Amino acid sequence: MLDASPAVALLGPRQVGKTTLALEIGETRPSIYLDLESDADRAKLIEPELYLTRHEDKLVILDEVHRLPGLFQNLRGLIDRGRRAGLRTGRFLLLGSASIDLMKQSSETLAGRIAYLEMHPLDGLEVAPRDLSSLWVRGGFPESFLAPNDRASLRWRQGFIRSYLERDIPMLGPRIPAETLRRFWTMLAHHQSGLLNAAEFARALGIDGKTVASYLDLLVDLLLVRRLEPWYSNVSKRLVKSPKIYVRDSGLTHALLGLGTQEQLLGHPVAGGSWEGFVIETLSAAVPEGTDINFYRTSAGAEIDVLLTLPGAAVWAIEIKRSLSPKVEKGFHLAAVDIRPDRRILIYPGTETYPLPHDVEAMPLTVVAAELAKLH
Tell me: cis bond preceding 243? Omega within 30 of 0 counts: no
Q: How far apart are CA 358 and CA 376, in angstroms?
A: 28
**Which tens digit of pLDDT belongs to each residue from 41-65?**
999 999 999 999 898 888 899 888 8
Among 64-73, 97-106, 174-183, 222-231, which is the least confidently predicted range? 97-106
Q: What pLDDT is attached to residue 106?
A: 55
Residue predicted with more confidence, 134 or 176: 134
Residue predicted with more confidence, 82 or 226: 226
Q: What pLDDT is attached to residue 174?
A: 67
Angle (CA) 271-273-275 rounded to 5° is 65
Among 41-50, 76-85, 278-287, 329-338, which is the least confidently predicted range? 76-85
Spatial contact of 246 and 226, defined as CB atoms under 8 Å apart: yes
DSSP reduced 3-state for 341: coil
Q: How far apart are CA 322 and CA 35, in angstroms?
A: 42
Sheet-wide strand order for 59-63: 31-35, 59-63, 92-95, 8-12, 114-118
Q: How far apart are CA 120 and CA 118, in angstroms?
A: 6
Show the DSSP H helices in the chain as ranges. Answer: 39-43, 48-53, 71-84, 100-109, 132-138, 142-145, 150-163, 169-172, 178-190, 198-205, 209-221, 250-256, 262-266, 271-286, 330-339, 365-373
pLDDT at 16 over 70: no
Q: What pLDDT is attached to residue 365?
A: 97
Among 76-80, 313-317, 323-327, 333-337, which is the least confidently predicted range? 76-80
Residue 317: strand pairing partners? 307, 344
Residue predicted with more confidence, 338 or 15: 338
Q: What pLDDT is attached to residue 328?
A: 95
pLDDT at 202 over 90: yes
| Burial class, 288, CB count within 10 angstroms (exposed 0-12 / middle 13-18 / buried 19+) | middle
Among 81-85, 256-260, 318-322, which is the least confidently predicted range? 81-85
pLDDT averaged over the chain? 86
Residue ranges and CATH numbers for the domains of the chain are: 8-118 (3.40.50), 129-373 (1.10.10.10)
Among 234-248, 250-264, 280-294, 353-367, which is the least confidently predicted range? 234-248
Among 101-110, 191-200, 257-266, 333-342, which is the least confidently predicted range? 101-110
Q: How far apart are CA 310 and CA 341, in angstroms?
A: 11
Residue predicted with more confidence, 56 or 280: 280
Q: What pLDDT is attached to residue 3?
A: 35
**Which tens digit of pLDDT belongs to each residue from 206-245?**
999 999 999 999 899 888 999 999 998 766 678 889 999 9
pLDDT at 5 over 90: no
| Burial class, 7, CB count within 10 angstroms (exposed 0-12 / middle 13-18 / buried 19+) | buried
- Region 273-286: mean pLDDT is 96
The whole-model pTM stands at 0.84
Spatial contact of 331 and 358, defined as CB atoms under 8 Å apart: no
- For 18-21, the CB contacts below 8 A with 24+ separation are 18/119, 18/120, 18/121, 18/122, 18/126, 18/140, 18/142, 19/142, 21/117, 21/119
The alpha carbon of 224 is separated from its chain's Cα centroid by a whole number of angstroms, namely 7
What Rg do the C-alpha atoms of the chain give, in angstroms? 22
